[in-house]
Amino acid sequence: MSIEKKKILNDPVYGFINIPKGAAFNVIEHPYFQRLRRIKQLGLTYYVYPGAIHSRFQHTLGATHLMTLALDTLISKGIEISEDEYRGAVLAILLHDIGHGPFSHSLEKTIVGGISHEKISLELMNFFNQQLEGRLEQAISIFRDKHKKHFLHQLVSSQLDVDRLDYLLRDSFFTGVSEGIVGSDRILKMLQVHENKLVVESKGIYSVEKFLIARRLMYWQVYLHKTVIGAEQLLLKVLQRAKYLADQKEDLFATPALKFFLYNHLSQSDLHFLTDVNIGNKKASVLELFTELDDNDLLAAIKVWRNHKDSILSFLSRSLIDRQFFHVELQNQAFNSEEIDRVNQKVKAYFNINNRDLEYFVMTGTIRNNAYSRFDDRINIIQKNKQLVDIADASDILDLSALSKVIEKRFLLYPKQVI
């Protein structure tokens, strides 16, 4: 394999990391990729953990660094990986998150018509492939799991991929929640390929156990922290109300890109990313407009919406910006209808609203967490006799089958004023 020149970056988690020059470096330098600097990795989690202000740009570079370590390990063990496949795997992980919008899933569920960030990532990969004269064919094939070497896709997306390894370490570092620290170096050194599938050598079983436990703990302590849930639900309602008002032709402050998505209905069936639309005095594709969106668009708009004449939008916007979150109740069983009705009546009386507007003030839902699934690409431990054993069965110190159980909790949110 020929040696490419590399760009050296200083990462707070790993220290100095190398980014190969060439296609990967060209992608990083592009404005579409630089946008990831302006999108926080953990959305509104900084309202709970003040240090959680790291970006998707940082995470993507970290995951790319881990990908190079994983590929180098496999090559050192005699696994055949061509130069094109190496470059393709690096580009696949580099671009795996490029389709994320501001505050990630909140945007997907409200003003972008339920279109997943994975679909948008693929559209952007196709764009870069055209710009770079077909040099991303391997990356797209690996990303879509169409490549003959399935283990390369598993490094990008599986239950033990470099994406998860990086975000656990990085999120732990920036939140200060030490339970997320995992031995990524050892896990990567223990990787092997058997019958075209990624496996872990038996010596790495304890590091994988720690990884699964860390993932479970980080979900409950960080990603599904009840205050984080409250903040995210409030953001969803702000965007839902703004979208409703836009449908009523109400005038809303917004950047040109955000205004387009607020005032146009887009769905998976009719969204054509390459379609040109008129924005002001110029034409732009839907894809271009999406890449104009970042956290700043939403935060600037919500700051202005605090003073909007619509009392619901202004109340929700003030609550979010000023961190006056709703009261959150979290429990294992469903809330009974009498309890929800009692809250509804108190909210209606306090805010003088009708039944139709209750959905903006009282929210219910379910959160789920399972650290490991036996139904997805399993984490297999390869024994010395070359037999494969599922990690949940191979563990001899813990009942890891418990981590594959889906745990559900129900939440009920409503304004603190009515407590």
**Does 356 lie in the same domain as 401?**
no
Task: Give dist(CA 238, CA 333) in Å, integer.
Answer: 27
- Whether residues 173 and 249 share a domain: the answer is no
Q: Are residues 198 and 171 in the same domain?
A: yes
Domain of 59? 6-224+370-406
DSSP codes of every residue in 33-74: HHGGGGSBTTGGGGGTSTT---BHHHHHHHHHHHHHHHHHHH
Q: Which residue has the tokens 């390869």?
A: 382
Residues 267 and 287 grouped into a single domain: yes
What is the distance, to the nearest Å, from the Cα of residue 24 to the centroid of all Cα atoms in its chain? 21
Q: Which helix (H) or strand (E) holds 118?
A: helix 117-131
Are 162 and 257 contained in the same domain? no
The two tokens of residue 80 are: 């055949």
State the Cα–Cα distance between residues 240 and 317, nearest whole angstrom.
12
Per-residue pLDDT of the chain (419 residues; tens, 9 = 90+): 344 557 899 999 999 998 877 889 999 999 999 999 999 999 999 999 999 999 999 999 999 999 999 999 999 999 999 999 999 999 999 999 999 999 876 666 677 766 778 888 999 999 999 999 999 999 999 999 999 999 999 999 999 999 999 999 999 999 999 998 999 999 999 999 999 999 999 999 999 999 999 999 999 999 999 999 999 999 999 999 999 999 999 999 999 999 998 998 765 544 566 566 777 677 778 888 899 999 999 999 999 999 999 999 999 999 999 999 999 999 999 999 999 999 999 999 999 999 999 999 999 999 988 888 877 778 999 998 999 998 888 876 656 666 777 888 999 999 999 98
* Strand boundaries in 212-281, DSSP class E: 276-279
Three-class secondary structure of residue 390 per DSSP: strand
Say whether both 13 and 149 belong to one domain.
yes
Number of domains in the chain: 2
Considering only CA atoms, give the Rg of the chain.
Answer: 23
Domain assignment of residue 1, yes or no: no
Distance of alpha carbon 62 from alpha carbon 18, whole angstroms: 10
∠ Cα 317 240 268 (to 5°): 140
* Residue 205 and residue 303 in one domain: no
Is residue 95 domain-resident? Answer: yes
Q: What is the DSSP letter of 325?
A: P
Helices 295-305, 226-247: inter-axial angle, 10-degree rounding: 70
The Cα–Cα gap between 113 and 118 comes to 14
